[in-house]
A and B are shown apart, each in its own frame.
Chain A
Amino acid sequence: MSDLNTSMVEKYRNNFLKEVEAHVEEGEWVKMCMQCGVCSGSCPLGPHWEHPPQELFMMIRAGKREEVLSSESMWMCTSCYNCIVRCPRELPITHIMHGLAHYATRLGIEPKGQPTRQFAQLFWDNLAKNGRVNELWLGVNLYFMNGLVEGIKVAMGMAGIGLGMLKAGRLSLKELVGGHTVKDKKGFKAMIKKAQELEAARVDK
């Protein structure tokens, strides 16, 4: 268990809802849910979730901390916003899903080997490096996420798309070395650093 996780468990004891309200992005909305179920029924990925949003909200209120934070469910959210549009209480459900996933990651208790989480991490690392997404490296890293053999298989399968993107100028082989960056890379890094500080102050408070 990470130190942060231990201290949060200490601090909130049996009141997981309070913890979510204080530390999860948009977490203060959770108590507004009236358990109508429209979000769960509206999610296009719904059948593949272990716990749909409204069930997660009930679990939060019931204090099922471990089960919620280690769940794969919120990582299934594709940000389609169907639930937000239909929620009769206007809960920002999509944002709460990402907030929960992010909080679990900070505490170090997120589900390991979850593919959406891995992709999100790759995407972020890639973006944070130069301030621009390097599609070539993102693709390469993604394909080899599950090991060399699997990666070559996936890459071969996607070759057609890759070549098409090269032709259309959407993908450049120059990206392999260095790649394009934002103009003010130093400023960009400083900005990210500041944002992370603010974020940390909020989550750890």
Chain B
Amino acid sequence: MSDIVATNQTILVVGGGISGMTAALEAAEVGKQVIVIEKTPSVGGRVTKLYKYFPKLCFPTCGQEINQRRMAANRNITVLTMAEVTELSGEAGNYSATVKISPRYVNDNCTACGACAEVVESEFDDEHNYNMSKRKGAYLPHNLAMPKRYVIDPALIGTDEATKAKEACPFNAIDLDMQEETIELKAGAVVWATGWRPFDANKIQPYGYDRFDNVITSVEFERMMDPFGPTGGKLVRPSDGKEAKNVAFIQCAGSRDRNYLRHCSRICCMASLKQSTYVTEKYGDEANVSIYYIDIRAIDRFEDFYQKVQDNENVTFIKSKVANIVENHENNNPVLKGVNTEGYHRYENEHDLVVLAVGMEPSVAKDEFPIELKLNDEGFIENDEANGGVFAAGCSADALDVNRAVQSATASALRAIQVVNRVAQAEG
């Protein structure tokens, strides 16, 4: 790793989701040197966990693949995975970063043949599936992982299984002696693109996410549609594996609420409208979707998507913030209670499955940044001169959909380019 060259004209991109990848590509394709620091074993971020994109309902894999090709083809980009910035200091044009790289125990001889995984039996929660399923201790994070290289779980180190995996590898790619590394990098500008995480649904006590099997989150629902996902692409109830045809979506689960997140997460209305089409895609006319909402925020051009879903007879809109959920103990159906504010009708509605449209919060907590940055009340990074040469991209800047995240990333790349251009001029 010590062969990485970084100077005051290098742009450091922290976070390799769609925003970080976009910023890196924009800068690299105009000739700037870029280093991407990604915490997990592969780039792509949360969009790799989505089944389809609104508004066009295309598969994220396609855009992802194009980006990966562009990255692979560009010599100006260096990607460090399983890496985190632990310290960052300096000012625009002159930053030093300390980067901690965790051992993967697999080097670049790996062809992703999977021979190691075949001999390993231990299983761990699969992060890619929000822990809804298990993965082996030797694993490829997901099908579209870049780099396409296996990982040995650190829990395996020192066990017979690790040795077995090493012996099974035909390419001598497993190196059990790899150690954690710390490197120092210089940079002229930093694009901060660490993205978002779903709001912890356990905190919304009246909805019983922690108590009822058939109350799940929108990110989990998204994983169920993946043919390689935790349910093999089936829309079923966690309690008994039965088909979930009568599905309720609860909007603003954790957002727009002074008890939880104060902001509107902006994407969850569209996400639920999109997910309602998943139910009709699976079950056709047997699908029965209810969307409980305060008001539907299908921002700007998305209004027509909303109208299309409204026209679907299998989808009902109920203007109400659900008060609480109880469980019917006979069939594990969640029962939603509240008042429909259109006409003030009190309801007690039973559904097969309830999906909480959870809000987005910044993935890096306010006190976890390695350098002081101007944040707003919600913890998103402000576009502020006080942040010097650090520019936020995508969901570290705000709750955004992919389209807007990419716009934000392009803008940040441009700002970073301007900084390193100034350095280049000064240095002649």
Q: Is the CB of B341 within 8 A of A37?
A: yes
Complex interface residues of chain A between 81 and 95 (CB less than 8 A to chain B): 85-86, 88-90
Binds A, one of B27-35, B101-109, B195-203, B319-327: B319-327
Binds B, one of A47-55, A107-115, A154-162, A179-187: A47-55
Complex interface residues of chain B between 318 and 369 (CB less than 8 A to chain A): 319-324, 337-341, 344, 346
Binds B, one of A5-13, A38-46, A118-126, A133-141: A38-46
Interface residues of A, Cβ cutoff 8 Å to B = 34-38, 40-42, 46-47, 51-52, 54-55, 85-86, 88-90
> Which listed residue (B259, B294, B324, B344) contacts A36, Cβ 8 A?
B294
User: Which 8 pairs show the lowest CB-CB distances between chains A and B?
Assistant: A41-B323, A41-B338, A36-B321, A88-B257, A40-B339, A37-B341, A38-B321, A42-B323
Q: Is the CB of A35 within 8 A of B324?
A: no
Chain A residues closer than 8 Å to B341, beta-carbon distance: 35-37, 40, 54-55
Given A37-B320, A41-B322, are A90 and B258 neighbors across the interface (CB < 8 Å)?
Answer: yes
Given A88-B256, A88-B321, are A40 and B344 neighbors across the interface (CB < 8 Å)?
Answer: yes
Min distance, Cβ A90 to any Cβ of chain B, angstroms: 5
Q: Is the CB of A37 within 8 A of B338?
A: yes
A47 to B348, CA, bound (A): 12
Q: Is the CB of A34 within 8 A of B344?
A: no
Min distance, Cβ A64 to any Cβ of chain B, angstroms: 14
Q: Is the CB of A41 within 8 A of B257?
A: no
Q: Is the CB of B339 within 8 A of A41?
A: yes
Q: Is the CB of B324 within 8 A of A42?
A: yes
Chain B residues closer than 8 Å to A41, beta-carbon distance: 320-324, 337-339, 346
B206 at the interface (CB under 8 A from A): yes
Chain B residues closer than 8 Å to A40, beta-carbon distance: 323, 338-339, 341, 344, 346
Q: A37-B339, A88-B259 are in contact. List 7 more A-B contacts (CB 8 A).
A: A41-B324, A41-B339, A41-B346, A88-B252, A88-B257, A88-B258, A89-B258
A25 to B322, CA, bound (A): 28
Given A88-B257, A88-B321, A89-B258, are A37 and B346 neighbors across the interface (CB < 8 Å)?
Answer: no
Given A38-B321, A41-B323, are A46 and B294 neighbors across the interface (CB < 8 Å)?
Answer: no
Interface residues of B, Cβ cutoff 8 Å to A = 206, 252, 256-259, 294, 319-324, 337-341, 344, 346
A142 to B233, CA, bound (A): 64
> Which listed residue (A47, A85, A90) contacts B346, Cβ 8 A?
A47
Q: Is the CB of A86 within 8 A of B344?
A: no
Given A86-B206, A88-B321, A89-B258, are A38 and B344 neighbors across the interface (CB < 8 Å)?
Answer: no
Which residue of the partner chain A has the closest CB to B319?
A37
> Which listed residue (B206, B321, B324) contacts A37, Cβ 8 A?
B321
Q: Is the CB of A36 within 8 A of B320?
A: yes
Min distance, Cβ B81 to any Cβ of chain A, angstroms: 39
Which residue of the partner chain B has the closest CB to A51?
B344
Min distance, Cβ A95 to any Cβ of chain B, angstroms: 16
28 chain-A/chain-B pairs, Cβ below 8 angstroms: A36-B320, A36-B341, A37-B319, A37-B321, A37-B323, A37-B338, A37-B340, A37-B341, A38-B322, A40-B323, A40-B338, A40-B339, A40-B346, A41-B324, A41-B338, A41-B346, A52-B339, A52-B344, A54-B339, A54-B341, A85-B259, A86-B206, A86-B259, A88-B252, A88-B258, A88-B259, A90-B258, A90-B259
Min distance, Cβ A74 to any Cβ of chain B, angstroms: 16
Min distance, Cβ B117 to any Cβ of chain A, angstroms: 46
Chain B residues closer than 8 Å to A54, beta-carbon distance: 339, 341
Chain A residues closer than 8 Å to B322, beta-carbon distance: 38, 41
Min distance, Cβ B7 to any Cβ of chain A, angstroms: 49
Chain A residues closer than 8 Å to B294, beta-carbon distance: 34-36
A34 to B254, CA, bound (A): 16
Min distance, Cβ B279 to any Cβ of chain A, angstroms: 24
Chain A residues closer than 8 Å to B252, beta-carbon distance: 36, 88
Which residue of the partner chain B has the closest CB to A89?
B258
Min distance, Cβ B354 to any Cβ of chain A, angstroms: 15
Min distance, Cβ B425 to any Cβ of chain A, angstroms: 51
A152 to B338, CA, bound (A): 40
A52 to B338, CA, bound (A): 11
Chain A residues closer than 8 Å to B321, beta-carbon distance: 36-38, 41, 88
A51 to B259, CA, bound (A): 25
Min distance, Cβ A80 to any Cβ of chain B, angstroms: 13
Which residue of the partner chain A has the closest CB to B322?
A41
Q: Is the CB of A86 within 8 A of B346?
A: no
Q: Is the CB of B258 within 8 A of A46?
A: no
Min distance, Cβ B250 to any Cβ of chain A, angstroms: 11
Which residue of the partner chain A has the closest CB to B344?
A55
Chain B residues closer than 8 Å to A46, beta-carbon distance: 339, 346
A37 to B319, CA, bound (A): 8
A38 to B259, CA, bound (A): 13
Which residue of the partner chain B has the closest CB to A58?
B341
A38 to B346, CA, bound (A): 11
Min distance, Cβ B269 to any Cβ of chain A, angstroms: 14
Chain A residues closer than 8 Å to B259, beta-carbon distance: 85-86, 88, 90
